[in-house]
């Protein structure tokens, strides 16, 4: 069994890192597990614990999926939280309205569902998780930090490929192993 997911790898630029480190620095007194900058990715489909014998089928599904998909650009332009202001759970970077990434995410979920893989519980909401919140000391201060960057232009990314990853969970954080790369035309 391998823990698998399908994602787009993101390479942060200087502006992205400025906002990311601003949040980390200003929220350092809170208990937040930050996603390491070199592990940032936009998940398209979480497969979870998957039998090894299913991996060739998954690779074929991804090859078939990208055949008619063209490269495109996305732009991250907002910072937000999942959960309520009373109980925030996740800090995320959001994408400017982009029909292509929304369609890609929804279509990959459908493609896998039609081929015998269980559906995800929710609709595809394109976002980049940057921090998982365990405990906030001062919720008012926390919200003021988020508000200072919530509408900033963060970064544009060219989407050229999707990647099948294996995730190995370790106490020091997850290790991601690339099992396949699927280039868009």
Q: Is 127 a catalytic residue?
A: yes
**Tell me, what DSSP letter sits at residue 120?**
P
Is 75:141 a contact under the CB 8 Å cutoff?
no
Among candidate residues 29, 41, 111, 113, the one labeled active-site is 41
Q: Is 113 a catalytic residue?
A: no
Among candidate residues 29, 111, 113, 127, the one labeled active-site is 127
- Run of H or E including 23: helix 14-26
Phi-psi map region of 116: left, alpha, beta (phi>0 left; psi -120 to 50 alpha): left
Facing residues of 92 across strands? 80, 129
User: What is d(CA 27, CA 140) in angstroms, rounded to the nearest whole number?
Assistant: 12
Residue positions annotated with a catalytic role: 41, 127
């Amino acid at each position: 069994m391998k823990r698998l997911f399908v994602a787009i790898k993101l390479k942060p630029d200087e502006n992205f890192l400025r906002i990311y480190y601003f949040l980390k620095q200003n929220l350092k007194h809170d208990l937040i597990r930050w996603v390491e900058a070199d592990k940032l990715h936009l998940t398209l489909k979480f497969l979870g614990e998957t039998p090894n014998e299913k991996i060739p089928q998954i690779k074929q599904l991804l090859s078939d999926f990208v055949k008619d998909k063209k490269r495109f650009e996305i732009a991250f332009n907002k910072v937000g939280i999942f959960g309520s202001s009373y109980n925030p759970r996740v800090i995320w970077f959001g994408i400017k309205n982009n029909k292509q990434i929304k369609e890609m995410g929804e279509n990959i979920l459908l493609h896998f569902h039609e081929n015998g893989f269980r559906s995800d519980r929710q609709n595809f909401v394109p976002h980049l998780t940057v921090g998982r919140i365990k405990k906030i000391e001062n919720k008012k201060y926390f919200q003021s930090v988020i508000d200072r960057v919530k509408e900033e232009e963060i970064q544009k990314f060219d989407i050229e490929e999707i990647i099948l990853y294996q995730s190995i969970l370790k106490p020091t954080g997850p290790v991601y192993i690339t099992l396949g790369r699927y280039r868009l035309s």
